A = this chain, B = another copy of it.
């Protein structure tokens, strides 16, 4: 339920409504990014719905009260009809520009990372992606460089000015990752790690939330709701392929998810064609499809030596292929009135 205050509502009236929400057992929530004075009433309303609408309608300063039928509330377009824009340093995600974040799967060493960062920047990427903490299926695989990797990413940012997106895998590591990263990535395996979602919600740092391999679109939005309801509305959603019976590609890109998400939520939506296909040969076609379908950004793996990459080599593009793809993407973006 959301309570929309009239433009003339006084601070006292707003406070009175907020207090009343809390008094009767719900959580009041005011979105700092929203112009209109809107108070969200969070919690399970159940059978009391109709009564509550009437109750708040009658309070001074209240313009109107609306129920949000979606299960997600703060993430819903019903609550926030305009597109949300997430700002990461000088980059805006969710606006006119399609933002491409590119970089290696794992940070392997400083020279490599800086070289790749320079190459992707030159090609038009606006953010640098790279893993320092790597969630690997096998405990015997390379697990990432940890803090050393974060330092290298920060160095690469210094050199290139590109904001850094990197994964955080556990509540314990959130503070550490926040020291170096601009965007906290929640990986597909942690999409429903609720303790972690709450913790990054409390961090106030922009979050890139990747869809779980076996998760429905609505579950993705419920996970976003965990983050936003902690007061952090800077959430970017990311489709990265789901698990299906088809084995020609590593995962199945759910391209339908782009228009569905743009319909159901105001949050920006990115797509990761590298993980969604698992094969560099198919990255270009799916990246173009994503832009044509309305994605606000892309997450693309680029490596200068894919055959010797410590992880995900087969799905990484070489810098020159990436540059060529960026030129193609720019044309597709223009065809849908966007810009890369």
Contacts and interface: CB of A to CB of B under 8 A. Distances in A.
Interface of A: 42-44, 71, 73, 135-142, 169-173, 189-196, 198, 212-219, 222, 225-226, 229, 242-249, 252-260, 262-263, 276-277, 281-282, 284-286, 288-294, 328, 331-332, 334-336
A222 B138 contact: yes
27 contacts: A43-B140, A71-B138, A169-B193, A169-B194, A169-B195, A170-B171, A170-B193, A171-B172, A189-B194, A214-B243, A214-B245, A217-B246, A242-B246, A243-B243, A243-B245, A244-B254, A248-B260, A252-B252, A255-B286, A255-B289, A258-B289, A263-B281, A288-B336, A289-B292, A289-B293, A291-B292, A328-B335
B277 A286 contact: no
A100 B162 CA distance: 42
Given A169-B195, A196-B170, A140 B216 contact: no
A276 B260 CA distance: 13
B140 A44 contact: yes
Contact of A194 (B136, B292, B293): B136
Nearest to A136: B194
10 closest residue pairs by CB, A with B: A214-B214, A170-B195, A189-B192, A292-B292, A259-B285, A289-B289, A288-B292, A335-B335, A289-B293, A331-B335
Given A277-B256, A286-B256, A172 B169 contact: no
Given A218-B248, A243-B245, A259-B286, 5 more contacts: A169-B195, A189-B194, A289-B293, A328-B335, A332-B332
Between A173, A192, A249, A290, the greatest number of chain B beta carbons within 10 A of the residue's beta carbon is seen for A192
Nearest to A255: B255
A44 B141 CA distance: 7
Between A198, A245, A336, the greatest number of chain B beta carbons within 10 A of the residue's beta carbon is seen for A245
Nearest to A187: B192
A214 B216 contact: no
Nearest to A251: B256
Nearest to A71: B138
A242 B282 CA distance: 19
Between A226, A252, A253, A289, the greatest number of chain B beta carbons within 10 A of the residue's beta carbon is seen for A289
A294 B288 CA distance: 9
Contacts of A255: 253, 255, 285-286, 289
B194 A193 contact: no
Contacts of A293: 285-286, 288-289, 292
A218 B249 CA distance: 11
A226 B212 CA distance: 20
A230 to B, nearest CB: 8
A295 B61 CA distance: 55
Nearest to A294: B285
A209 to B, nearest CB: 14
B292 A135 contact: no
